[in-house]
């Protein structure tokens, strides 16, 4: 498989919250780079194409765009 990312991702295991339109879904941040992340979710259904990711451990809010979806994981680009 060809690597299409601009920046290398680092494996992490952090709790996160997908926030959108007054709703919130818990997730787990599985890998992270300066430009994006992979998030484990119960189901990708109902998660909008754009949302804010809150990572309490880092006290960060990141604007995200979904790049890909799998059964229980989504890939996002920041910005």
pLDDT tens sequence across 17-31: 999 998 999 999 999
Identify the three-state secondary structure at position 7.
Answer: coil
Pairing of β 23-32 and β 36-40: antiparallel
The mean of the pLDDT values for the chain is: 91
Structure tokens at 65: 């765009």
Say what the pLDDT of residue 8 is: 73
Among left, alpha and beta (phi > 0; psi -120 to 50; other), residue 67 is alpha
Give residue 24's pLDDT: 96
Collect the ranges in the chain with pLDDT lower than 50: 1-3, 5
CA 52 – CA 68 distance, rounded (Å) = 16
């Amino acid at each position: 498989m060809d690597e299409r990312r601009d920046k290398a991702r680092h494996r992490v295991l952090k709790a996160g919250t997908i926030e959108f339109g007054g709703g919130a879904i818990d997730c787990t941040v599985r890998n992270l780079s300066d430009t994006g992340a992979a998030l484990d979710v119960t189901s990708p259904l109902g998660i909008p194409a754009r949302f804010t990711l809150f990572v309490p451990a880092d006290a960060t809010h990141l604007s995200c765009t979904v790049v890909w979806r799998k059964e229980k994981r989504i890939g996002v680009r920041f910005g």
